[in-house]
């Protein structure tokens, strides 16, 4: 039993070391010589799209998160499947939007620098530029990723809006992210929408006895019940009511008041470290900086660099 535990720990450490070694192949300005206008080209596409549809910001940010947490940041979430068995066909990914922005960015880059810029790097750049377009944080994006060739619906096992704090911390730690990263990246819920089905049990049948989640502010719960009836499967809810189009700290202020939309938001108050970070962010002015730091860390998860992977010609299909 002890030997098997040691083997598991050794394998986990080996995975982390390999991931760190690959991440060392990333750097800011990776394309400065091979495609010096790469970031500007992507930014132009993103800003034009966001001007027409600013609500794409949240799905694009979530797309990068969902990519990195499955097989690492290798662009596997972008791949299509002829039999609907790719990552994008998994239930948590069905609400992702903005794939056309990745396609447009890739097409623009291929005209100038064919075969140079990876789709995984394009997605990383787009996640940053979409936040800038919303007057949110900016950060230096490390590039140099290469694209994966595999995308499997059965490998999609993402942190869930129903998770408790122990599960969330474990999921993030396996990706090399700590409690602070968990809180900061959860702050991405300051923009975007959720939907009633994700709230039904929390509002109407939390423990199977027709009750609501006691961790949810009662006044907020009453307002949500007015919007979400038990059988409602379509109504959209602002994840950061009154500020869902603006990247700001109001999300943390709401969570501190027990008004986080999802169970995973409320769970951030159930651990001393994560609770302290929530309260700190609600009071302070470091969110933009901290968000950039955590995004860079997340962008290093399981990357392919050097000669591993490939540079796709089209982001929806491997070469």
Q: Is 104 annotated as a binding residue?
A: no
CA 48, CA 54: separation in Å to the nearest integer? Answer: 10
Cα 37-43-47 angle, rounded to 5 deg:
150
Domains and CATH numbers, the chain: 25-153 (1.10.520.10), 163-297 (1.10.420.10)
Q: Is 181 annotated as a binding residue?
A: no
Q: Is 67 annotated as a binding residue?
A: yes
Q: Is 121 annotated as a binding residue?
A: no
Q: Which range has the worst mean pLDDT, 13-17, 275-279, 303-307?
A: 13-17
Closest alpha carbon to 315 in 142, 102, 171, 35: 102
Q: Is 285 annotated as a binding residue?
A: no
E strands along 218-257, which residues? 236-238
Q: pLDDT class for 294, splitting at 50, 70, 90?
A: very high
Active site residues: 66
Q: Is the pLDDT of residue 151 over 60?
A: yes
Q: What is the pLDDT of residue 180?
A: 98
Q: What is the pLDDT of residue 243?
A: 87
CA 105, CA 98: separation in Å to the nearest integer? Answer: 11
Q: Is the pLDDT of residue 10 over 80?
A: no
Question: Mind listing the pLDDT tens digit for each residue in 92-145?
Answer: 999 999 999 999 999 999 999 999 999 999 999 999 999 999 999 999 999 999
Question: Mind listing the pLDDT tens digit for each residue in 216-256?
Answer: 999 999 999 999 999 999 999 999 998 888 999 999 999 99
Q: Are 199 and 260 in contact (CB under 8 A)?
A: no
Q: What is the pLDDT of residue 19?
A: 55
pLDDT: is 149 or 7 the higher one? 149
Q: Is the pLDDT of residue 22 over 70?
A: no
User: Among residues of the chain, what percentage have pLDDT more than 90?
Assistant: 90
Q: Are 215 and 104 in contact (CB under 8 A)?
A: no
Q: Is the pLDDT of residue 274 over 80?
A: yes
Measured distance between the N- and C-terminal CA atoms of the chain, rounded to whole angstroms: 44
Q: Is the pLDDT of residue 20 over 90?
A: no
Q: What is the pLDDT of residue 16?
A: 52
pLDDT: is 218 or 22 the higher one? 218
Q: Is residue 174 classed as helix, strand or coil in its secondary structure? A: coil
């Amino acid at each position: 039993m002890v030997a098997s535990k040691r083997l598991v720990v050794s394998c986990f450490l080996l995975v982390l070391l390999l991931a760190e070694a690959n991440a060392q192949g990333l750097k800011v300005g990776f394309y400065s010589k091979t495609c010096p206008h790469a970031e500007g080209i992507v930014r132009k596409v993103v800003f034009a799209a966001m001007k027409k549809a600013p609500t794409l910001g949240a799905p694009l940010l979530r797309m990068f998160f969902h990519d990195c947490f499955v097989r690492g940041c290798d662009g596997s979430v972008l791949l299509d499947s002829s039999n609907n068995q790719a990552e994008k066909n998994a239930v948590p990914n069905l609400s992702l939007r903005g794939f056309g922005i990745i396609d447009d960015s890739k097409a623009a880059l291929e005209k100038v620098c064919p075969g140079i810029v990876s789709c995984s790097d394009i997605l990383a750049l787009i996640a940053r530029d979409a936040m800038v377009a919303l007057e949110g944080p900016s950060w230096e994006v490390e590039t140099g990723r290469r694209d994966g060739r595999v995308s499997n619906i059965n490998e999609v096992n993402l942190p869930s809006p129903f998770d408790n704090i122990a599960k969330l911390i474990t999921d993030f730690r396996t990706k090399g992210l700590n409690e602070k990263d968990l809180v900061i990246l959860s702050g991405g819920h300051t923009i975007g929408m959720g939907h009633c089905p994700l709230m039904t049990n929390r509002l109407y049948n939390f423990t199977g006895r027709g009750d609501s989640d006691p961790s949810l502010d009662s006044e907020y719960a009453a307002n949500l019940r007015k919007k979400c009836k038990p059988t409602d499967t379509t109504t959209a809810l602002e994840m950061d009511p009154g500020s869902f189009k603006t990247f700001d700290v109001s999300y943390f202020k709401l969570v501190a008041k027990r008004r986080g939309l999802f169970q995973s938001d409320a769970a951030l108050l159930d651990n001393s470290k994560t609770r302290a970070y929530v309260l700190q962010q609600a009071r302070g002015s470091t969110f933009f900086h901290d968000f950039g730091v955590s995004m860079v860390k997340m962008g290093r998860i399981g990357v392919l660099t050097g000669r591993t992977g490939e540079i796709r010609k089209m982001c929806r299909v491997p070469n």
